Amino acid sequence: MSETQKVAIVTGGSRGIGRAVAVRLAREGFAVAVNYAGVQADAEKVVDEIENIGGKAIAVKADVTRTADVVRLFDETEKAFGGIDVLVNSAGMMVIKPIAEMEDEIFDRTFAINVRGTFNTLKQAAKRIRSGGHIINFSTSVNPLTLPGYGAYGASKAAVEVLTSILTKEMRGRNVTVNTVGPGPTATELFFEGKTQEQIDRLANLNPFERLAKPDEIAGAVAFLVGPDGTWVNGQTLRVNGGMI
Protein backbone atom coordinates (compact mmCIF):
# COMPACT_ATOMS: atom_id res chain seq x y z
CA MET A 1 0.00 0.00 0.00
CA SER A 2 1.25 3.46 -0.87
CA GLU A 3 2.24 5.57 2.12
CA THR A 4 -0.06 8.28 0.79
CA GLN A 5 -3.15 6.09 0.45
CA LYS A 6 -6.12 7.34 2.44
CA VAL A 7 -8.09 5.02 4.72
CA ALA A 8 -11.84 4.97 5.35
CA ILE A 9 -14.08 3.21 7.85
CA VAL A 10 -17.63 2.64 6.60
CA THR A 11 -20.05 1.43 9.26
CA GLY A 12 -22.93 -0.64 7.99
CA GLY A 13 -20.78 -1.21 4.92
CA SER A 14 -22.03 -4.67 4.00
CA ARG A 15 -25.24 -3.64 2.23
CA GLY A 16 -27.38 -0.79 0.96
CA ILE A 17 -25.96 2.71 0.93
CA GLY A 18 -23.03 1.60 3.08
CA ARG A 19 -21.98 -0.99 0.50
CA ALA A 20 -22.24 1.58 -2.29
CA VAL A 21 -20.15 4.04 -0.29
CA ALA A 22 -17.47 1.46 0.49
CA VAL A 23 -17.09 0.50 -3.17
CA ARG A 24 -17.15 4.12 -4.37
CA LEU A 25 -14.45 5.16 -1.91
CA ALA A 26 -12.34 2.20 -2.99
CA ARG A 27 -12.69 3.40 -6.58
CA GLU A 28 -11.54 6.82 -5.38
CA GLY A 29 -8.36 5.25 -4.01
CA PHE A 30 -9.24 4.66 -0.35
CA ALA A 31 -8.38 1.53 1.56
CA VAL A 32 -11.66 0.58 3.24
CA ALA A 33 -12.64 -1.09 6.49
CA VAL A 34 -16.07 -2.58 5.79
CA ASN A 35 -17.88 -2.72 9.11
CA TYR A 36 -20.77 -5.13 9.66
CA ALA A 37 -22.74 -6.32 12.66
CA GLY A 38 -24.54 -9.36 11.30
CA VAL A 39 -23.81 -11.42 8.20
CA GLN A 40 -20.09 -11.91 7.59
CA ALA A 41 -20.67 -13.28 4.10
CA ASP A 42 -22.25 -9.99 2.98
CA ALA A 43 -19.23 -8.02 4.19
CA GLU A 44 -16.82 -10.46 2.56
CA LYS A 45 -18.64 -9.99 -0.75
CA VAL A 46 -18.02 -6.25 -0.52
CA VAL A 47 -14.34 -6.88 0.26
CA ASP A 48 -14.11 -9.21 -2.74
CA GLU A 49 -15.79 -6.62 -4.96
CA ILE A 50 -13.28 -3.99 -3.85
CA GLU A 51 -10.31 -6.30 -4.33
CA ASN A 52 -11.58 -7.28 -7.79
CA ILE A 53 -11.31 -3.65 -8.88
CA GLY A 54 -7.79 -3.41 -7.51
CA GLY A 55 -8.63 -1.90 -4.13
CA LYS A 56 -7.75 -2.82 -0.57
CA ALA A 57 -10.33 -3.70 2.07
CA ILE A 58 -10.94 -5.65 5.24
CA ALA A 59 -14.18 -6.74 6.89
CA VAL A 60 -14.51 -5.91 10.60
CA LYS A 61 -17.39 -7.17 12.70
CA ALA A 62 -18.45 -4.62 15.33
CA ASP A 63 -21.74 -3.63 16.92
CA VAL A 64 -21.60 0.17 16.89
CA THR A 65 -23.85 0.33 19.96
CA ARG A 66 -21.03 -1.23 22.01
CA THR A 67 -18.10 0.98 22.95
CA ALA A 68 -15.60 -1.87 23.11
CA ASP A 69 -16.58 -3.06 19.62
CA VAL A 70 -16.08 0.41 18.19
CA VAL A 71 -12.67 0.77 19.81
CA ARG A 72 -11.70 -2.57 18.27
CA LEU A 73 -13.01 -1.45 14.86
CA PHE A 74 -10.68 1.54 14.94
CA ASP A 75 -7.80 -0.54 16.32
CA GLU A 76 -8.09 -3.17 13.59
CA THR A 77 -8.33 -0.53 10.88
CA GLU A 78 -5.22 1.24 12.13
CA LYS A 79 -3.38 -2.07 12.41
CA ALA A 80 -4.28 -3.06 8.85
CA PHE A 81 -3.73 0.27 7.10
CA GLY A 82 -1.67 2.49 9.41
CA GLY A 83 -4.24 5.18 10.21
CA ILE A 84 -7.73 6.55 9.55
CA ASP A 85 -8.66 9.50 7.34
CA VAL A 86 -12.41 9.10 6.83
CA LEU A 87 -15.31 7.84 8.91
CA VAL A 88 -18.68 7.26 7.25
CA ASN A 89 -21.51 6.44 9.66
CA SER A 90 -23.98 4.57 7.48
CA ALA A 91 -25.09 1.93 9.98
CA GLY A 92 -28.73 2.58 10.76
CA MET A 93 -32.17 1.28 11.60
CA MET A 94 -35.59 2.46 10.40
CA VAL A 95 -39.00 1.25 11.56
CA ILE A 96 -41.98 3.32 10.45
CA LYS A 97 -44.90 3.35 12.90
CA PRO A 98 -47.12 6.01 14.46
CA ILE A 99 -45.87 7.24 17.81
CA ALA A 100 -48.93 5.76 19.57
CA GLU A 101 -48.09 2.30 18.17
CA MET A 102 -44.29 2.33 18.48
CA GLU A 103 -43.00 -0.41 20.78
CA ASP A 104 -40.60 0.73 23.49
CA GLU A 105 -38.07 -1.88 22.45
CA ILE A 106 -38.01 -0.67 18.84
CA PHE A 107 -37.72 2.96 19.96
CA ASP A 108 -34.78 2.09 22.21
CA ARG A 109 -33.07 0.02 19.50
CA THR A 110 -33.52 2.84 16.97
CA PHE A 111 -31.76 5.29 19.25
CA ALA A 112 -29.12 2.74 20.22
CA ILE A 113 -28.04 2.21 16.60
CA ASN A 114 -28.71 5.60 15.04
CA VAL A 115 -27.65 7.86 17.91
CA ARG A 116 -25.51 5.89 20.36
CA GLY A 117 -23.81 4.09 17.47
CA THR A 118 -22.96 7.40 15.81
CA PHE A 119 -21.82 8.88 19.12
CA ASN A 120 -19.51 5.92 19.77
CA THR A 121 -17.74 6.22 16.43
CA LEU A 122 -17.55 10.01 16.61
CA LYS A 123 -15.87 9.73 20.00
CA GLN A 124 -13.11 7.59 18.53
CA ALA A 125 -12.82 9.61 15.31
CA ALA A 126 -12.50 12.86 17.26
CA LYS A 127 -9.35 11.50 18.87
CA ARG A 128 -7.88 9.31 16.13
CA ILE A 129 -8.70 10.63 12.67
CA ARG A 130 -5.72 12.17 10.87
CA SER A 131 -5.34 15.81 9.90
CA GLY A 132 -7.04 16.53 6.60
CA GLY A 133 -9.66 13.89 7.29
CA HIS A 134 -13.43 13.84 6.98
CA ILE A 135 -16.34 12.57 9.07
CA ILE A 136 -19.68 11.86 7.38
CA ASN A 137 -22.83 11.10 9.35
CA PHE A 138 -26.15 10.02 7.89
CA SER A 139 -29.49 11.70 8.52
CA THR A 140 -32.60 11.85 6.32
CA SER A 141 -34.43 14.21 3.99
CA VAL A 142 -37.76 13.03 5.41
CA ASN A 143 -37.50 15.14 8.56
CA PRO A 144 -38.42 18.51 7.01
CA LEU A 145 -41.65 16.90 5.77
CA THR A 146 -42.56 15.59 9.26
CA LEU A 147 -44.33 12.61 7.72
CA PRO A 148 -46.56 10.52 10.00
CA GLY A 149 -44.88 7.33 11.14
CA TYR A 150 -41.36 8.74 11.20
CA GLY A 151 -41.38 9.95 14.82
CA ALA A 152 -38.74 7.63 16.29
CA TYR A 153 -36.56 7.48 13.18
CA GLY A 154 -36.79 11.21 12.53
CA ALA A 155 -36.00 12.09 16.13
CA SER A 156 -32.92 9.87 16.05
CA LYS A 157 -31.66 11.52 12.88
CA ALA A 158 -32.33 15.00 14.28
CA ALA A 159 -29.99 14.04 17.11
CA VAL A 160 -27.36 12.99 14.59
CA GLU A 161 -27.52 16.40 12.92
CA VAL A 162 -26.97 18.10 16.29
CA LEU A 163 -23.97 15.86 16.98
CA THR A 164 -22.57 16.87 13.60
CA SER A 165 -22.95 20.59 14.27
CA ILE A 166 -21.33 20.41 17.69
CA LEU A 167 -18.46 18.11 16.70
CA THR A 168 -17.67 20.46 13.82
CA LYS A 169 -16.86 23.18 16.35
CA GLU A 170 -15.07 20.81 18.73
CA MET A 171 -12.69 19.82 15.91
CA ARG A 172 -11.35 23.38 15.63
CA GLY A 173 -7.65 23.33 14.80
CA ARG A 174 -7.68 19.69 13.66
CA ASN A 175 -8.21 20.30 9.91
CA VAL A 176 -11.07 17.77 9.83
CA THR A 177 -14.48 18.36 8.26
CA VAL A 178 -17.69 16.99 9.77
CA ASN A 179 -20.84 16.83 7.65
CA THR A 180 -24.12 14.97 7.35
CA VAL A 181 -25.69 13.45 4.25
CA GLY A 182 -29.49 13.34 4.33
CA PRO A 183 -30.78 11.03 1.59
CA GLY A 184 -34.32 10.99 0.35
CA PRO A 185 -36.06 7.64 -0.25
CA THR A 186 -33.43 5.27 -1.67
CA ALA A 187 -33.79 1.79 -3.13
CA THR A 188 -32.27 -0.29 -0.34
CA GLU A 189 -33.41 -3.23 1.76
CA LEU A 190 -33.75 -0.87 4.71
CA PHE A 191 -36.16 1.34 2.76
CA PHE A 192 -38.30 -1.47 1.32
CA GLU A 193 -38.64 -3.39 4.59
CA GLY A 194 -42.18 -3.25 5.97
CA LYS A 195 -43.63 -0.99 3.26
CA THR A 196 -46.50 -1.70 0.91
CA GLN A 197 -46.12 -1.03 -2.81
CA GLU A 198 -48.49 1.90 -2.40
CA GLN A 199 -46.25 3.44 0.25
CA ILE A 200 -43.16 2.88 -1.89
CA ASP A 201 -44.77 4.51 -4.92
CA ARG A 202 -46.00 7.48 -2.90
CA LEU A 203 -42.56 8.17 -1.47
CA ALA A 204 -40.85 7.66 -4.82
CA ASN A 205 -43.13 10.27 -6.39
CA LEU A 206 -42.28 12.98 -3.88
CA ASN A 207 -39.38 14.22 -6.00
CA PRO A 208 -39.66 15.69 -9.53
CA PHE A 209 -37.89 12.68 -11.05
CA GLU A 210 -40.65 10.43 -9.67
CA ARG A 211 -38.30 7.63 -8.67
CA LEU A 212 -36.23 6.34 -5.79
CA ALA A 213 -32.59 7.27 -5.50
CA LYS A 214 -29.98 4.67 -6.34
CA PRO A 215 -27.47 3.88 -3.58
CA ASP A 216 -24.65 4.86 -5.93
CA GLU A 217 -26.12 8.36 -6.21
CA ILE A 218 -25.89 8.80 -2.45
CA ALA A 219 -22.37 7.40 -2.50
CA GLY A 220 -21.45 10.08 -5.03
CA ALA A 221 -22.37 12.79 -2.53
CA VAL A 222 -20.15 11.15 0.08
CA ALA A 223 -17.28 10.94 -2.41
CA PHE A 224 -17.63 14.68 -3.05
CA LEU A 225 -17.54 15.55 0.65
CA VAL A 226 -14.43 13.45 1.36
CA GLY A 227 -12.67 14.44 -1.86
CA PRO A 228 -10.54 17.45 -2.81
CA ASP A 229 -13.57 19.52 -3.85
CA GLY A 230 -15.28 19.12 -0.47
CA THR A 231 -12.64 20.65 1.78
CA TRP A 232 -14.58 23.89 2.39
CA VAL A 233 -17.89 22.19 3.18
CA ASN A 234 -18.06 21.82 6.95
CA GLY A 235 -20.81 21.49 9.53
CA GLN A 236 -23.49 21.07 6.88
CA THR A 237 -26.36 18.69 6.18
CA LEU A 238 -26.40 17.91 2.46
CA ARG A 239 -29.89 16.71 1.55
CA VAL A 240 -29.56 14.42 -1.45
CA ASN A 241 -33.16 13.83 -2.52
CA GLY A 242 -33.71 14.74 -6.16
CA GLY A 243 -35.61 17.89 -5.23
CA MET A 244 -38.08 16.26 -2.85
CA ILE A 245 -37.91 19.34 -0.61
CA within 13 Å, CB half, 25: 35
Query: Residue 135: which of 168, 93, 173 has the closest Cα?
Result: 168
Measured between alpha carbons, how far apart are the two ends of the chain, in Å?
43
- Backbone conformation region of residue 130, classed left if phi is above 0, alpha if psi is from -120 to 50, else beta: beta
Q: Report yes or no: 36 and 59 within 8 Å, Cβ to Cβ.
A: yes
Query: Which of 74, 81, 150, 153 is labelled catalytic?
Result: 153
What single DSSP character describes residue 186? B
236: CB partners within 8 A, 6+ apart: 179, 180
Q: Report yes or no: 70 and 76 within 8 Å, Cβ to Cβ.
A: no
| H helix intervals, 91-150 | 104-111, 117-128
153 is catalytic: yes
Active-site amino acid positions: 153
